[in-house]
Structure 1
Protein backbone atom coordinates (compact mmCIF):
# COMPACT_ATOMS: atom_id res chain seq x y z
CA UNK A 1 0.00 0.00 0.00
CA UNK A 2 1.18 3.52 -0.77
CA UNK A 3 0.72 4.78 2.80
CA UNK A 4 2.92 2.02 4.20
CA UNK A 5 5.52 2.69 1.49
CA UNK A 6 5.65 6.40 2.34
CA UNK A 7 6.17 5.60 6.02
CA UNK A 8 9.00 3.24 5.14
CA UNK A 9 10.64 5.94 2.96
CA UNK A 10 10.43 8.41 5.82
CA UNK A 11 11.99 5.92 8.23
CA UNK A 12 14.82 5.20 5.80
CA UNK A 13 15.56 8.88 5.32
CA UNK A 14 15.61 9.59 9.05
CA UNK A 15 18.93 7.77 9.30
CA UNK A 16 20.34 10.97 7.84
CA UNK A 17 22.12 9.40 4.88
CA UNK A 18 21.58 10.19 1.21
CA UNK A 19 19.72 7.38 -0.57
CA UNK A 20 19.71 7.14 -4.34
CA UNK A 21 16.56 6.55 -6.34
CA UNK A 22 17.88 3.16 -7.43
CA UNK A 23 18.62 2.09 -3.83
CA UNK A 24 15.22 3.28 -2.72
CA UNK A 25 13.49 1.40 -5.54
CA UNK A 26 15.34 -1.83 -4.66
CA UNK A 27 14.51 -1.47 -0.97
CA UNK A 28 10.81 -0.86 -1.67
CA UNK A 29 10.60 -3.32 -4.59
CA UNK A 30 9.07 -0.70 -6.89
CA UNK A 31 10.14 1.16 -10.01
CA UNK A 32 12.28 4.32 -9.90
CA UNK A 33 9.34 6.17 -11.43
CA UNK A 34 7.21 5.16 -8.43
CA UNK A 35 9.92 6.45 -6.08
CA UNK A 36 9.80 9.87 -7.76
CA UNK A 37 6.01 9.99 -7.41
CA UNK A 38 6.27 9.01 -3.73
CA UNK A 39 8.80 11.78 -3.09
CA UNK A 40 6.41 14.28 -4.67
CA UNK A 41 3.66 13.01 -2.33
CA UNK A 42 5.89 13.46 0.74
CA UNK A 43 6.84 16.95 -0.33
CA UNK A 44 3.20 17.86 -0.93
CA UNK A 45 2.43 16.64 2.61
CA UNK A 46 4.94 19.10 4.05
CA UNK A 47 7.84 16.69 4.62
CA UNK A 48 11.09 18.58 3.84
CA UNK A 49 12.63 16.04 1.47
CA UNK A 50 14.91 17.13 -1.36
CA UNK A 51 17.16 15.63 -4.05
CA UNK A 52 20.92 16.19 -4.26
CA UNK A 53 22.19 15.97 -7.80
CA UNK A 54 25.42 14.41 -9.00
CA UNK A 55 27.07 11.01 -8.99
CA UNK A 56 26.82 10.66 -5.22
CA UNK A 57 23.43 12.34 -5.07
CA UNK A 58 20.09 11.02 -3.94
CA UNK A 59 17.25 11.79 -1.60
CA UNK A 60 17.65 13.36 1.83
CA UNK A 61 15.70 15.09 4.56
CA UNK A 62 16.50 18.67 5.56
CA UNK A 63 19.26 18.62 8.21
CA UNK A 64 18.10 18.13 11.81
CA UNK A 65 14.53 17.44 10.77
CA UNK A 66 12.87 14.44 12.40
CA UNK A 67 9.32 13.47 13.14
CA UNK A 68 9.66 12.97 16.89
CA UNK A 69 7.36 11.50 19.50
CA UNK A 70 7.33 14.90 21.12
CA UNK A 71 3.68 14.76 22.18
CA UNK A 72 4.37 11.82 24.50
CA UNK A 73 5.71 12.04 28.03
CA UNK A 74 8.98 10.20 28.71
CA UNK A 75 7.35 7.25 30.50
CA UNK A 76 4.81 6.95 27.69
CA UNK A 77 7.61 6.90 25.15
CA UNK A 78 9.53 4.26 27.10
CA UNK A 79 6.43 2.07 27.33
CA UNK A 80 6.60 1.69 23.54
CA UNK A 81 9.99 0.03 24.02
CA UNK A 82 8.82 -2.69 26.39
CA UNK A 83 9.81 -5.93 24.64
CA UNK A 84 7.02 -7.47 22.62
CA UNK A 85 6.19 -11.16 23.10
CA UNK A 86 7.58 -12.83 19.98
CA UNK A 87 5.16 -15.77 20.49
CA UNK A 88 2.16 -13.48 20.15
CA UNK A 89 3.47 -11.93 16.94
CA UNK A 90 4.30 -15.39 15.56
CA UNK A 91 0.86 -16.75 16.51
CA UNK A 92 -0.77 -13.82 14.73
CA UNK A 93 1.49 -14.40 11.71
CA UNK A 94 2.53 -10.75 11.70
CA UNK A 95 5.88 -11.51 10.05
CA UNK A 96 7.73 -8.82 12.01
CA UNK A 97 10.24 -8.85 14.83
CA UNK A 98 10.30 -6.74 17.96
CA UNK A 99 13.83 -5.66 17.02
CA UNK A 100 12.58 -4.11 13.77
CA UNK A 101 9.86 -2.28 15.69
CA UNK A 102 12.39 -1.02 18.24
CA UNK A 103 14.85 0.22 15.60
CA UNK A 104 12.16 2.18 13.79
CA UNK A 105 10.76 3.72 16.96
CA UNK A 106 14.26 4.68 18.07
CA UNK A 107 14.57 7.01 15.09
CA UNK A 108 11.69 9.11 16.38
CA UNK A 109 12.85 9.27 19.99
CA UNK A 110 14.40 12.45 21.44
CA UNK A 111 18.12 12.07 22.14
CA UNK A 112 17.65 12.36 25.91
CA UNK A 113 15.34 9.35 26.05
CA UNK A 114 17.26 7.00 23.75
CA UNK A 115 19.60 5.57 26.39
CA UNK A 116 16.70 4.94 28.77
CA UNK A 117 14.91 3.04 26.00
CA UNK A 118 18.01 0.95 25.30
CA UNK A 119 18.39 0.17 29.02
CA UNK A 120 14.76 -0.93 29.23
CA UNK A 121 15.13 -3.16 26.20
CA UNK A 122 18.31 -4.81 27.47
CA UNK A 123 16.97 -5.46 30.97
CA UNK A 124 13.43 -6.76 30.36
CA UNK A 125 12.35 -9.73 28.26
CA UNK A 126 8.82 -11.09 27.76
CA UNK A 127 8.39 -14.84 27.18
CA UNK A 128 4.81 -16.02 26.62
CA UNK A 129 5.79 -19.58 25.68
CA UNK A 130 5.79 -22.73 27.78
CA UNK A 131 8.77 -24.48 29.40
CA UNK A 132 8.35 -27.40 27.04
CA UNK A 133 9.61 -27.24 23.48
CA UNK A 134 6.89 -25.98 21.17
CA UNK A 135 6.55 -25.53 17.45
CA UNK A 136 6.43 -22.10 15.83
CA UNK A 137 3.94 -23.32 13.23
CA UNK A 138 0.74 -21.36 13.17
CA UNK A 139 -2.36 -23.16 14.44
CA UNK A 140 -4.71 -23.52 11.42
CA UNK A 141 -7.68 -22.59 13.60
CA UNK A 142 -5.84 -19.47 14.75
CA UNK A 143 -5.45 -18.30 11.16
CA UNK A 144 -9.16 -18.81 10.48
CA UNK A 145 -10.24 -17.06 13.67
CA UNK A 146 -7.94 -14.10 13.11
CA UNK A 147 -9.35 -13.54 9.62
CA UNK A 148 -12.92 -13.90 10.87
CA UNK A 149 -12.36 -11.50 13.77
CA UNK A 150 -10.85 -8.84 11.55
CA UNK A 151 -13.55 -9.11 8.88
CA UNK A 152 -16.72 -9.83 10.92
CA UNK A 153 -17.27 -13.21 9.28
CA UNK A 154 -19.24 -16.12 10.69
CA UNK A 155 -17.35 -19.38 11.19
CA UNK A 156 -18.37 -23.03 11.40
CA UNK A 157 -16.30 -24.88 14.00
CA UNK A 158 -15.88 -28.38 15.39
CA UNK A 159 -15.00 -27.89 19.04
CA UNK A 160 -13.69 -30.50 21.48
CA UNK A 161 -14.98 -29.82 24.99
CA UNK A 162 -13.06 -30.65 28.16
CA UNK A 163 -15.03 -33.91 28.55
CA UNK A 164 -14.01 -35.07 25.07
CA UNK A 165 -17.35 -34.32 23.43
CA UNK A 166 -17.08 -32.78 19.95
CA UNK A 167 -19.74 -30.27 18.96
CA UNK A 168 -20.31 -28.49 15.64
CA UNK A 169 -21.64 -24.95 15.71
CA UNK A 170 -21.70 -21.58 13.97
CA UNK A 171 -20.09 -18.69 15.83
CA UNK A 172 -19.51 -14.97 15.38
CA UNK A 173 -15.90 -14.30 16.49
CA UNK A 174 -15.50 -10.92 18.21
CA UNK A 175 -11.93 -11.00 19.47
CA UNK A 176 -8.83 -13.00 20.37
CA UNK A 177 -7.29 -13.06 23.86
CA UNK A 178 -3.80 -14.30 24.75
CA UNK A 179 -3.85 -15.80 28.24
CA UNK A 180 -0.40 -17.00 29.30
CA UNK A 181 0.62 -19.33 26.45
CA UNK A 182 -2.96 -20.01 25.29
CA UNK A 183 -5.28 -18.22 22.89
CA UNK A 184 -9.04 -17.87 23.35
CA UNK A 185 -11.61 -16.57 20.90
CA UNK A 186 -14.56 -14.62 22.30
CA UNK A 187 -17.62 -15.17 20.15
CA UNK A 188 -21.39 -15.12 19.99
CA UNK A 189 -23.01 -18.53 19.54
CA UNK A 190 -26.09 -19.23 17.45
CA UNK A 191 -28.29 -17.88 20.25
CA UNK A 192 -26.18 -14.68 20.37
CA UNK A 193 -24.79 -15.66 23.78
CA UNK A 194 -21.18 -14.83 24.64
CA UNK A 195 -18.84 -17.82 24.73
CA UNK A 196 -15.09 -18.33 25.12
CA UNK A 197 -13.41 -21.03 23.01
CA UNK A 198 -9.87 -22.29 23.53
CA UNK A 199 -8.26 -22.13 20.10
CA UNK A 200 -6.28 -25.38 20.55
CA UNK A 201 -9.58 -27.23 21.04
CA UNK A 202 -10.97 -26.06 17.71
CA UNK A 203 -10.48 -29.16 15.54
CA UNK A 204 -11.78 -27.56 12.36
CA UNK A 205 -12.83 -24.07 11.40
CA UNK A 206 -14.14 -22.66 8.14
CA UNK A 207 -15.06 -19.08 7.33
CA UNK A 208 -18.56 -18.65 5.95
CA UNK A 209 -19.46 -16.24 3.20
CA UNK A 210 -21.73 -14.41 5.61
CA UNK A 211 -21.06 -11.23 7.59
CA UNK A 212 -22.43 -10.37 11.02
CA UNK A 213 -22.98 -7.08 12.81
CA UNK A 214 -20.53 -6.61 15.67
CA UNK A 215 -22.24 -5.30 18.86
CA UNK A 216 -21.51 -1.58 18.99
CA UNK A 217 -21.07 -1.58 22.77
CA UNK A 218 -18.74 -4.60 22.93
CA UNK A 219 -15.27 -3.95 24.38
CA UNK A 220 -13.02 -6.99 24.34
CA UNK A 221 -10.86 -6.11 27.36
CA UNK A 222 -13.86 -5.23 29.55
CA UNK A 223 -15.71 -8.38 28.56
CA UNK A 224 -12.68 -10.61 29.23
CA UNK A 225 -12.03 -9.17 32.69
CA UNK A 226 -15.70 -9.50 33.65
CA UNK A 227 -16.04 -13.06 32.32
CA UNK A 228 -12.79 -14.06 34.04
CA UNK A 229 -14.12 -12.72 37.33
CA UNK A 230 -17.41 -14.57 36.89
CA UNK A 231 -15.57 -17.79 36.03
CA UNK A 232 -13.44 -17.61 39.19
CA UNK A 233 -16.53 -16.94 41.31
CA UNK A 234 -18.35 -19.91 39.77
CA UNK A 235 -15.60 -22.41 40.61
CA UNK A 236 -16.61 -24.86 43.36
CA UNK A 237 -14.72 -24.70 46.66
CA UNK A 238 -13.83 -27.50 49.06
CA UNK A 239 -12.21 -26.27 52.27
CA UNK A 240 -9.80 -28.35 54.33
CA UNK A 241 -7.93 -27.61 57.56
CA UNK A 242 -4.61 -29.43 57.95
CA UNK A 243 -1.35 -29.55 59.86
CA UNK A 244 1.67 -29.70 57.57
CA UNK A 245 5.33 -30.52 58.09
CA UNK A 246 8.05 -27.97 57.19
CA UNK A 247 8.68 -29.90 53.95
CA UNK A 248 5.01 -29.91 52.93
CA UNK A 249 4.67 -26.28 53.96
CA UNK A 250 7.38 -25.19 51.55
CA UNK A 251 6.01 -27.32 48.71
CA UNK A 252 2.48 -25.97 49.13
CA UNK A 253 3.79 -22.39 49.11
CA UNK A 254 5.89 -23.13 46.02
CA UNK A 255 3.23 -24.92 43.96
CA UNK A 256 -0.05 -23.04 44.22
CA UNK A 257 -1.53 -24.38 40.99
CA UNK A 258 -3.84 -27.02 42.46
CA UNK A 259 -4.54 -25.55 45.88
CA UNK A 260 -5.07 -22.15 47.44
CA UNK A 261 -3.91 -21.43 50.99
CA UNK A 262 -6.74 -19.51 52.68
CA UNK A 263 -4.92 -18.83 55.93
CA UNK A 264 -1.80 -19.81 57.90
CA UNK A 265 -2.05 -20.53 61.60
CA UNK A 266 0.40 -21.17 64.40
CA UNK A 267 3.60 -23.18 63.98
CA UNK A 268 4.29 -25.72 66.73
CA UNK A 269 7.64 -26.52 68.34
CA UNK A 270 8.20 -29.43 66.00
CA UNK A 271 7.82 -27.07 63.00
CA UNK A 272 4.36 -28.20 61.86
CA UNK A 273 1.99 -25.42 60.74
CA UNK A 274 -1.79 -25.22 60.58
CA UNK A 275 -3.10 -24.26 57.14
CA UNK A 276 -6.52 -23.65 55.66
CA UNK A 277 -6.58 -24.99 52.09
CA UNK A 278 -9.14 -24.53 49.33
CA UNK A 279 -9.55 -27.09 46.52
CA UNK A 280 -11.99 -27.12 43.62
CA UNK A 281 -13.40 -30.53 44.60
CA UNK A 282 -13.17 -33.15 47.34
CA UNK A 283 -11.54 -35.56 44.86
CA UNK A 284 -8.75 -33.07 44.21
CA UNK A 285 -8.22 -32.70 47.95
CA UNK A 286 -7.95 -36.47 48.46
CA UNK A 287 -5.41 -36.95 45.67
CA UNK A 288 -3.36 -33.93 46.70
CA UNK A 289 -3.12 -34.91 50.37
CA UNK A 290 -2.31 -38.56 49.58
CA UNK A 291 0.61 -37.32 47.51
CA UNK A 292 2.26 -35.88 50.63
CA UNK A 293 2.16 -39.18 52.51
CA UNK A 294 2.88 -38.65 56.21
CA UNK A 295 3.70 -34.96 55.77
CA UNK A 296 0.09 -33.70 56.03
CA UNK A 297 -2.44 -34.42 58.81
CA UNK A 298 -6.14 -33.63 58.25
CA UNK A 299 -7.93 -31.66 60.99
CA UNK A 300 -11.24 -31.13 59.20
CA UNK A 301 -13.57 -32.19 57.71
CA UNK A 302 -13.28 -35.45 59.64
CA UNK A 303 -14.95 -37.59 56.96
CA UNK A 304 -12.09 -36.67 54.62
CA UNK A 305 -9.74 -38.71 56.81
CA UNK A 306 -11.60 -41.91 55.90
CA UNK A 307 -11.53 -41.07 52.21
CA UNK A 308 -7.78 -40.36 52.22
CA UNK A 309 -7.20 -43.60 54.18
CA UNK A 310 -9.28 -45.57 51.65
CA UNK A 311 -7.30 -44.05 48.78
CA UNK A 312 -4.01 -44.99 50.47
CA UNK A 313 -5.25 -48.58 50.86
CA UNK A 314 -6.17 -48.66 47.16
CA UNK A 315 -2.63 -47.62 46.29
CA UNK A 316 -1.19 -50.38 48.53
CA UNK A 317 -3.50 -52.97 46.94
CA UNK A 318 -2.42 -51.83 43.50
CA UNK A 319 1.20 -52.81 44.18
CA UNK A 320 0.58 -56.10 46.00
Structure 2
Protein backbone atom coordinates (compact mmCIF):
# COMPACT_ATOMS: atom_id res chain seq x y z
CA UNK A 1 0.00 0.00 0.00
CA UNK A 2 2.82 2.39 0.84
CA UNK A 3 4.54 1.75 -2.52
CA UNK A 4 1.34 2.49 -4.43
CA UNK A 5 0.93 5.71 -2.42
CA UNK A 6 4.51 6.77 -3.17
CA UNK A 7 4.11 6.16 -6.91
CA UNK A 8 0.82 8.06 -6.93
CA UNK A 9 2.44 10.95 -5.03
CA UNK A 10 5.26 11.15 -7.58
CA UNK A 11 2.79 11.46 -10.44
CA UNK A 12 0.80 14.06 -8.51
CA UNK A 13 3.92 16.13 -7.87
CA UNK A 14 4.95 15.87 -11.52
CA UNK A 15 1.56 17.06 -12.72
CA UNK A 16 1.29 20.00 -10.32
CA UNK A 17 3.53 22.96 -9.57
CA UNK A 18 3.04 22.85 -5.79
CA UNK A 19 1.00 20.49 -3.59
CA UNK A 20 0.59 21.14 0.12
CA UNK A 21 1.24 18.48 2.74
CA UNK A 22 -2.32 18.83 4.02
CA UNK A 23 -3.74 18.24 0.52
CA UNK A 24 -1.60 15.13 0.15
CA UNK A 25 -2.63 13.89 3.58
CA UNK A 26 -6.32 14.38 2.76
CA UNK A 27 -5.99 12.66 -0.61
CA UNK A 28 -4.33 9.53 0.77
CA UNK A 29 -6.04 9.43 4.14
CA UNK A 30 -2.85 9.61 6.21
CA UNK A 31 -1.32 12.08 8.64
CA UNK A 32 0.94 14.93 7.55
CA UNK A 33 3.76 13.28 9.49
CA UNK A 34 3.37 10.25 7.19
CA UNK A 35 3.51 12.58 4.17
CA UNK A 36 6.79 14.05 5.44
CA UNK A 37 8.28 10.55 5.69
CA UNK A 38 7.00 9.72 2.21
CA UNK A 39 8.63 12.86 0.78
CA UNK A 40 11.93 11.84 2.39
CA UNK A 41 11.62 8.39 0.79
CA UNK A 42 10.94 9.94 -2.64
CA UNK A 43 13.99 12.20 -2.29
CA UNK A 44 16.11 9.20 -1.27
CA UNK A 45 15.03 7.50 -4.53
CA UNK A 46 16.69 10.30 -6.51
CA UNK A 47 13.65 12.39 -7.43
CA UNK A 48 14.41 16.10 -6.77
CA UNK A 49 11.53 17.25 -4.54
CA UNK A 50 11.75 20.83 -3.25
CA UNK A 51 9.87 22.50 -0.41
CA UNK A 52 8.16 25.89 -0.80
CA UNK A 53 7.45 28.04 2.25
CA UNK A 54 4.57 30.45 2.85
CA UNK A 55 0.78 30.43 2.77
CA UNK A 56 0.71 28.76 -0.67
CA UNK A 57 3.69 26.55 0.03
CA UNK A 58 4.07 22.83 -0.20
CA UNK A 59 6.08 20.37 -2.25
CA UNK A 60 7.02 20.23 -5.92
CA UNK A 61 9.54 18.74 -8.33
CA UNK A 62 12.10 21.02 -9.97
CA UNK A 63 11.15 22.10 -13.50
CA UNK A 64 14.28 20.72 -15.13
CA UNK A 65 13.16 17.22 -14.17
CA UNK A 66 9.77 17.62 -15.86
CA UNK A 67 8.74 17.60 -19.49
CA UNK A 68 6.70 20.50 -20.85
CA UNK A 69 3.20 19.49 -21.97
CA UNK A 70 3.31 22.12 -24.74
CA UNK A 71 6.23 20.41 -26.46
CA UNK A 72 4.29 17.31 -27.50
CA UNK A 73 0.75 16.60 -28.59
CA UNK A 74 -1.24 13.62 -27.33
CA UNK A 75 -0.48 11.63 -30.50
CA UNK A 76 3.24 12.34 -30.11
CA UNK A 77 3.21 11.18 -26.49
CA UNK A 78 1.31 7.95 -27.25
CA UNK A 79 3.61 7.13 -30.18
CA UNK A 80 6.76 7.70 -28.14
CA UNK A 81 5.44 5.71 -25.19
CA UNK A 82 4.55 2.78 -27.47
CA UNK A 83 7.92 2.74 -29.26
CA UNK A 84 10.02 3.20 -26.14
CA UNK A 85 8.04 0.59 -24.21
CA UNK A 86 8.64 -1.95 -26.95
CA UNK A 87 12.35 -1.11 -27.10
CA UNK A 88 12.72 -1.29 -23.33
CA UNK A 89 11.16 -4.76 -23.35
CA UNK A 90 13.62 -5.97 -25.97
CA UNK A 91 16.75 -4.42 -24.51
CA UNK A 92 15.76 -4.36 -20.83
CA UNK A 93 16.51 -0.63 -20.98
CA UNK A 94 15.83 1.14 -17.70
CA UNK A 95 16.66 4.54 -19.24
CA UNK A 96 13.97 4.04 -21.87
CA UNK A 97 11.48 3.07 -19.17
CA UNK A 98 12.42 6.16 -17.18
CA UNK A 99 11.61 8.26 -20.25
CA UNK A 100 8.32 6.40 -20.62
CA UNK A 101 7.40 7.21 -17.03
CA UNK A 102 8.14 10.90 -17.63
CA UNK A 103 6.09 10.92 -20.83
CA UNK A 104 3.19 9.31 -19.04
CA UNK A 105 3.05 12.27 -16.68
CA UNK A 106 2.16 14.64 -19.55
CA UNK A 107 -0.61 12.51 -21.01
CA UNK A 108 -3.75 14.58 -21.38
CA UNK A 109 -6.11 11.71 -20.61
CA UNK A 110 -6.12 8.12 -19.40
CA UNK A 111 -7.76 6.59 -22.49
CA UNK A 112 -6.48 3.35 -23.92
CA UNK A 113 -3.51 3.73 -26.31
CA UNK A 114 -4.31 3.65 -30.03
CA UNK A 115 -0.97 2.05 -30.91
CA UNK A 116 0.55 -1.28 -29.94
CA UNK A 117 3.88 -2.54 -31.16
CA UNK A 118 5.99 -5.68 -30.96
CA UNK A 119 9.33 -5.25 -32.71
CA UNK A 120 10.27 -8.87 -32.83
CA UNK A 121 11.25 -9.77 -29.30
CA UNK A 122 9.37 -13.08 -29.70
CA UNK A 123 11.83 -14.31 -32.30
CA UNK A 124 14.23 -15.54 -29.64
CA UNK A 125 17.07 -13.06 -30.17
CA UNK A 126 16.87 -11.19 -26.87
CA UNK A 127 20.29 -12.36 -25.68
CA UNK A 128 21.94 -11.53 -29.01
CA UNK A 129 20.25 -8.14 -29.30
CA UNK A 130 21.27 -7.07 -25.82
CA UNK A 131 24.82 -8.32 -26.34
CA UNK A 132 25.13 -6.43 -29.63
CA UNK A 133 23.67 -3.24 -28.19
CA UNK A 134 26.19 -3.33 -25.35
CA UNK A 135 29.01 -4.00 -27.83
CA UNK A 136 27.91 -1.01 -29.92
CA UNK A 137 27.80 1.31 -26.91
CA UNK A 138 31.11 0.07 -25.47
CA UNK A 139 32.86 -0.25 -28.87
CA UNK A 140 33.69 -3.96 -28.58
CA UNK A 141 34.50 -6.10 -31.61
CA UNK A 142 32.08 -9.01 -32.06
CA UNK A 143 32.74 -12.43 -33.54
CA UNK A 144 30.19 -14.85 -35.01
CA UNK A 145 29.64 -17.56 -37.58
CA UNK A 146 27.50 -16.41 -40.49
CA UNK A 147 25.56 -18.08 -43.29
CA UNK A 148 25.19 -15.74 -46.29
CA UNK A 149 22.29 -15.75 -48.76
CA UNK A 150 24.61 -17.77 -51.05
CA UNK A 151 24.83 -20.43 -48.30
CA UNK A 152 28.48 -19.56 -47.62
CA UNK A 153 29.59 -20.27 -44.05
CA UNK A 154 32.22 -17.88 -42.69
CA UNK A 155 33.62 -16.54 -39.42
CA UNK A 156 33.24 -12.78 -39.16
CA UNK A 157 34.95 -10.18 -37.01
CA UNK A 158 32.79 -7.06 -37.04
CA UNK A 159 33.00 -3.58 -35.56
CA UNK A 160 29.29 -3.09 -34.75
CA UNK A 161 27.77 0.29 -35.59
CA UNK A 162 24.00 -0.06 -35.25
CA UNK A 163 21.03 -2.42 -35.09
CA UNK A 164 18.26 -2.19 -37.65
CA UNK A 165 14.75 -3.63 -37.66
CA UNK A 166 13.41 -4.00 -41.18
CA UNK A 167 10.72 -6.14 -42.81
CA UNK A 168 10.15 -8.08 -39.60
CA UNK A 169 13.83 -8.98 -39.08
CA UNK A 170 16.77 -7.66 -37.07
CA UNK A 171 20.06 -6.75 -38.78
CA UNK A 172 23.49 -5.76 -37.51
CA UNK A 173 25.23 -3.01 -39.47
CA UNK A 174 28.96 -2.73 -39.00
CA UNK A 175 32.45 -2.85 -40.48
CA UNK A 176 33.40 -6.40 -41.50
CA UNK A 177 37.15 -6.93 -41.22
CA UNK A 178 37.04 -9.95 -43.51
CA UNK A 179 35.31 -8.05 -46.35
CA UNK A 180 36.98 -4.74 -45.46
CA UNK A 181 33.78 -2.78 -45.74
CA UNK A 182 30.48 -2.10 -44.06
CA UNK A 183 27.93 -4.88 -44.27
CA UNK A 184 24.53 -5.84 -42.92
CA UNK A 185 24.11 -9.20 -41.18
CA UNK A 186 20.77 -10.84 -40.46
CA UNK A 187 20.58 -12.00 -36.86
CA UNK A 188 18.74 -15.19 -37.75
CA UNK A 189 21.82 -16.37 -39.68
CA UNK A 190 24.29 -15.74 -36.87
CA UNK A 191 25.53 -18.36 -34.45
CA UNK A 192 28.17 -18.46 -31.74
CA UNK A 193 27.95 -14.71 -31.20
CA UNK A 194 30.47 -13.34 -28.69
CA UNK A 195 31.66 -9.87 -27.73
CA UNK A 196 35.46 -9.69 -27.58
CA UNK A 197 37.49 -7.62 -25.16
CA UNK A 198 39.13 -5.82 -28.10
CA UNK A 199 37.94 -2.24 -28.48
CA UNK A 200 37.71 -0.27 -31.71
CA UNK A 201 37.45 3.36 -32.79
CA UNK A 202 34.23 4.20 -34.61
CA UNK A 203 34.87 4.78 -38.30
CA UNK A 204 33.75 8.21 -39.46
CA UNK A 205 32.51 6.89 -42.79
CA UNK A 206 30.09 4.42 -41.21
CA UNK A 207 27.03 6.53 -41.90
CA UNK A 208 28.15 7.39 -45.45
CA UNK A 209 29.20 4.01 -46.76
CA UNK A 210 26.43 2.01 -48.39
CA UNK A 211 26.36 -1.56 -47.05
CA UNK A 212 26.27 -4.59 -49.29
CA UNK A 213 22.70 -5.85 -49.24
CA UNK A 214 21.16 -9.12 -50.18
CA UNK A 215 18.97 -9.16 -53.29
CA UNK A 216 15.76 -7.33 -52.38
CA UNK A 217 12.29 -8.78 -52.53
CA UNK A 218 11.42 -6.83 -55.65
CA UNK A 219 14.91 -6.01 -56.90
CA UNK A 220 16.97 -2.87 -56.44
CA UNK A 221 17.42 0.28 -58.48
CA UNK A 222 20.77 -0.98 -59.75
CA UNK A 223 19.21 -4.06 -61.29
CA UNK A 224 18.03 -3.26 -64.82
CA UNK A 225 16.22 -6.45 -65.82
CA UNK A 226 12.93 -6.01 -64.01
CA UNK A 227 10.25 -8.34 -65.38
CA UNK A 228 6.50 -8.46 -64.86
CA UNK A 229 5.39 -11.41 -62.74
CA UNK A 230 1.72 -12.40 -62.52
CA UNK A 231 0.59 -14.91 -59.89
CA UNK A 232 -2.84 -16.36 -59.19
CA UNK A 233 -3.60 -17.64 -55.69
CA UNK A 234 -6.50 -19.87 -54.66
CA UNK A 235 -9.01 -18.53 -52.15
CA UNK A 236 -7.51 -20.50 -49.24
CA UNK A 237 -4.08 -18.95 -49.85
CA UNK A 238 -5.17 -15.31 -50.13
CA UNK A 239 -4.24 -14.23 -46.55
CA UNK A 240 -0.71 -15.66 -46.85
CA UNK A 241 -0.35 -14.21 -50.35
CA UNK A 242 -1.19 -10.75 -49.04
CA UNK A 243 1.43 -11.19 -46.30
CA UNK A 244 4.14 -12.09 -48.82
CA UNK A 245 3.22 -9.81 -51.71
CA UNK A 246 1.62 -6.79 -50.09
CA UNK A 247 3.47 -4.36 -52.35
CA UNK A 248 2.25 -5.83 -55.63
CA UNK A 249 -0.86 -4.81 -57.62
CA UNK A 250 -3.60 -7.01 -56.21
CA UNK A 251 -6.94 -7.94 -57.73
CA UNK A 252 -9.51 -10.06 -55.91
CA UNK A 253 -11.68 -12.14 -58.26
CA UNK A 254 -15.34 -13.02 -57.88
CA UNK A 255 -14.50 -16.64 -57.04
CA UNK A 256 -12.36 -15.46 -54.10
CA UNK A 257 -9.00 -16.08 -55.77
CA UNK A 258 -6.35 -13.38 -55.94
CA UNK A 259 -4.16 -12.13 -58.77
CA UNK A 260 -0.93 -10.36 -57.88
CA UNK A 261 1.18 -8.47 -60.42
CA UNK A 262 4.65 -7.27 -59.45
CA UNK A 263 8.07 -6.54 -60.88
CA UNK A 264 10.99 -8.79 -59.99
CA UNK A 265 14.62 -8.67 -61.06
CA UNK A 266 15.50 -11.78 -63.07
CA UNK A 267 12.50 -13.80 -61.78
CA UNK A 268 13.62 -17.14 -63.27
CA UNK A 269 16.85 -16.89 -61.23
CA UNK A 270 15.33 -15.38 -58.09
CA UNK A 271 15.73 -18.25 -55.64
CA UNK A 272 13.81 -16.46 -52.91
CA UNK A 273 10.76 -16.17 -55.19
CA UNK A 274 10.92 -19.81 -56.20
CA UNK A 275 11.06 -20.90 -52.55
CA UNK A 276 8.10 -18.71 -51.63
CA UNK A 277 6.04 -20.06 -54.51
CA UNK A 278 6.84 -23.67 -53.66
CA UNK A 279 5.69 -22.98 -50.13
CA UNK A 280 2.19 -22.34 -51.48
CA UNK A 281 2.04 -25.82 -53.05
CA UNK A 282 -0.87 -26.22 -55.47
CA UNK A 283 -2.54 -23.03 -54.22
CA UNK A 284 -0.63 -20.78 -56.64
CA UNK A 285 -0.18 -20.69 -60.40
CA UNK A 286 2.46 -18.63 -62.20
CA UNK A 287 0.80 -16.96 -65.15
CA UNK A 288 3.72 -14.81 -66.27
CA UNK A 289 6.54 -14.93 -67.30
CA UNK A 290 7.08 -18.25 -69.14
CA UNK A 291 10.64 -18.68 -67.83
CA UNK A 292 9.41 -18.54 -64.23
CA UNK A 293 6.76 -21.16 -65.01
CA UNK A 294 9.52 -23.34 -66.46
CA UNK A 295 11.72 -22.80 -63.39
CA UNK A 296 8.87 -23.94 -61.11
CA UNK A 297 8.14 -26.99 -63.29
CA UNK A 298 11.82 -27.95 -63.45
CA UNK A 299 12.20 -27.66 -59.69
CA UNK A 300 9.11 -29.81 -59.06
CA UNK A 301 10.44 -32.49 -61.39
CA UNK A 302 13.75 -32.48 -59.55
CA UNK A 303 11.91 -32.86 -56.24
CA UNK A 304 9.91 -35.79 -57.63
CA UNK A 305 13.10 -37.54 -58.75
CA UNK A 306 14.46 -37.25 -55.21
CA UNK A 307 11.41 -39.11 -53.88
CA UNK A 308 11.13 -41.69 -56.65
TM-score norm. by structure 1 comes to: 0.58
- 1:185 touches 1:198 (CA, 8 Å); kept in 2? yes
**Alignment gaps of 5+ in structure 2:** 1-8, 22-33
Counterpart of 2:77? 80
Q: What corresponds to 1:124 in structure 2?
A: 115
Matched, 1:282 2:268: yes
Q: Assess if the C-alpha contact under 8 Å between 2:235 and 2:258 holds in 1.
A: no
Task: Go from structure 1 to structure 2 and tell me whether the alpha carbon gap of 1:308 and 1:248 turns closer, same or farther (over 3 Å shift).
Answer: farther
Please report the RMSD computed on the Cα atoms of aligned residues, expressed in angstroms: 5.2
Aligned equivalent of 2:133: 146
Q: Paired residue for 2:38, among 2, 19, 23?
A: 23
- Aligned equivalents of 1:84, 1:261: Cα separation in 2: 28
Gap change, CA 1:263 and 1:257, over 3 Å in 2: closer
- Write the distance in 2 (CA, Å) between the matches of 1:156 and 1:291: 37
* Pairs aligned (count): 271
- Specify the SS of the correspondent of 1:123: coil
State yes or no: 1:104 paired with 2:137. no
Q: How far is 1:168 from its partner?
A: 1.7
CA distance change for structure 1 residues 92 and 257 in 2, over 3 Å: closer, same or farther? same
Distance of aligned partners of 1:240 and 1:308 in 2 relative to their CA distance in 1, 3 Å threshold: farther
- Asked if the contact 2:135–2:141 (Cα under 8 Å) also holds between the matched residues in 1, the reply is yes
Query: Structure 1 49/105 Cα, relative in aligned 2: closer, same or farther at 3 Å?
Result: farther
Provide structure 1 residue ranges, at least 5 long, that are not aligned to the other structure: 1-8, 43-47, 53-57
Q: TM-score scaled to structure 2, two decimals?
A: 0.60
> 1:61, CA displacement in angstroms?
1.9
